[in-house]
Amino acid sequence: MKLAEQVTFGGSGLDRAAHIRSDEAALNSALNHRNAVAIVMWRGKPLVRGAELDQLARIPLDHPVLQAGYADAIPMPVFLGCDETGAPHFACDVSAWEPKDQDLAALGLFLDPSEQVHPDLPKDHVFAELRRLMTRLERRDAELAATAKAIIGWHDSHRFCAKCGAASEVTDAGWQRVCPTCKAHHFPRTDPVVIMLITHGNSVLMGRSPGWPEGMYSLLAGFVEPGETLEAAVRREVFEEAGIEVGEISYLASQPWPFPASLMFGCAGVALGRDITIDPVEIEDAIWVTRDDMMTAFAGEHPVLKPARRGAIAHFLLQNWLADTLD
């Protein structure tokens, strides 16, 4: 798919300079580089700025906010890479900071509307939920934010060795954890998910999960299981959820989805029939939607169907299906 990398979080060509991670001298030189900057995360939320919260904030590595607030799970900067000017970029987790007199009830909600202001940062800098603002960020900021959120989220949930249970230690500038007891090496994980544009003639298969807002439907999706190809996962998920057999399958586009650690594989599949039998445990409903109806939904004018959420790969695939730009 020619337009594949235009998806949200589709990448910006950041030079990850992975050779620096295990080279102590090179890492120290990056940490002390006069243009080195920190991308700051607090409890999964990136620090952003601007009236529209459309810019990822960058602060110097010696900023007092960092010194005071490092999280236990990753008490040092994670090296993300260098931009075109050679400026090293790091991700820093300041989750140890406890905001005072701020409403924290919305933290962890699917769409957390709250914003937190750190007293030692300018007033236009806030911690905000990435889902809310991902479509406003330019490509480089989006790649940095997705990477920072995913890698820091991994440290937060992998503090102990998966083999023996001992507390593990951070190495390689944040890209590995090593167990001091059994010596096992642990690498950041990314969980593959297939999401499929299943078509039959001029219609696309859409499903909804229990508890979704009324009128919200999306493409079917599911985790790839150990030992499965992407194609096998697509066929299994569509048959399990909707009782539909899928013939030809092709890969379209991928999207890092750091909520918390997925890599979405967008695939196209041709259904061999139209008869739907849903698995009520997995989904609440599945329907065929014609191209015309989807156009109306995208325009926000469909009486039942809500438009797909912008930023998610489902929206991107449907948009390109409507525009006939899947090739």
Report, in Å, the least distance between residue 180 CB and Zn ion. 8
| Residue (87 or 178) nearer to Zn ion, CB | 178
Report, in Å, the least distance between residue 29 CB and Zn ion. 32
| Residue (63 or 158) nearer to Zn ion, CB | 158
Among residue numbers 82 through 111, which ones bind Zn ion (CB under 5 A)?
none
The answer to whether 230 touches 194, Cβ cutoff 8 Å, is yes
Q: Is the dihedral of CA 270, 274, 277, 278 positive or negative?
A: positive
With 0-12 / 13-18 / 19 or more C-beta atoms within 10 angstroms meaning exposed / middle / buried, residue 94 is buried
DSSP state of 167: B
Report, in Å, the least distance between residue 159 CB and Zn ion. 12
Interface with Zn ion includes 179 (CB under 5 A)? yes
Report, in Å, the least distance between residue 158 CB and Zn ion. 12
Backbone dihedral angles phi then psi of residue 57, each to the nearest 5 degrees: -75, 150
Site string for Zn ion, 199-218 (x = CB under 5 A): --------------------
| Residue (104 or 162) nearer to Zn ion, CB | 162
Among residue numbers 148 through 177, which ones bind Zn ion (CB under 5 A)?
161, 163-164, 166
Contacting Zn ion (CB under 5 A), which of 106, 182, 295, 304?
A: 182
Report, in Å, the least distance between residue 156 CB and Zn ion. 18
| Residue (184 or 287) nearer to Zn ion, CB | 184
Report, in Å, the least distance between residue 74 CB and Zn ion. 18
Neighbours of 260 (CB within 10 A): 15
Report, in Å, the least distance between residue 189 CB and Zn ion. 16
Residue spans of alpha helices (H) in the chain: 24-31, 64-69, 130-133, 139-157, 230-242, 291-298, 313-322
Site string for Zn ion, 228-267 (x = CB under 5 A): ----------------------------------------
| Residue (183 or 274) nearer to Zn ion, CB | 183
Segment interacting with Zn ion (CB under 5 A) among 178-186, 199-207, 220-228, 278-286: 178-186
Neighbours of 162 (CB within 10 A): 12
Contacting Zn ion (CB under 5 A), which of 14, 184, 216, 263?
A: 184
Among residue numbers 9 through 48, which ones bind Zn ion (CB under 5 A)?
none
- The count of residues interacting with Zn ion (CB under 5 A) is 8
The Cα–Cα gap between 189 and 260 comes to 10
| Amino acid identity for residue 97 in this structure | W
What residues form DSSP beta bridges with 41? Answer: 46, 93
Give me the residue label for tokens 């029939």: 273
The Cα–Cα gap between 50 and 226 comes to 43
With 0-12 / 13-18 / 19 or more C-beta atoms within 10 angstroms meaning exposed / middle / buried, residue 187 is exposed
The answer to whether 83 touches 165, Cβ cutoff 8 Å, is no
| Residue (3 or 178) nearer to Zn ion, CB | 178
For β-strands 59-60 and 37-42, DSSP reports them as: antiparallel
Interface with Zn ion includes 283 (CB under 5 A)? no
Report, in Å, the least distance between residue 145 CB and Zn ion. 31
DSSP state of 319: H
Report, in Å, the least distance between residue 175 CB and Zn ion. 18
Q: Is the dihedral of CA 237, 239, 243, 249 positive or negative?
A: positive
Neighbours of 220 (CB within 10 A): 25
| Residue (178 or 230) nearer to Zn ion, CB | 178
| Residue (180 or 215) nearer to Zn ion, CB | 180
Where do contacts with Zn ion occur on this chain (CB under 5 A)? Answer: 161, 163-164, 166, 179, 181-182, 184
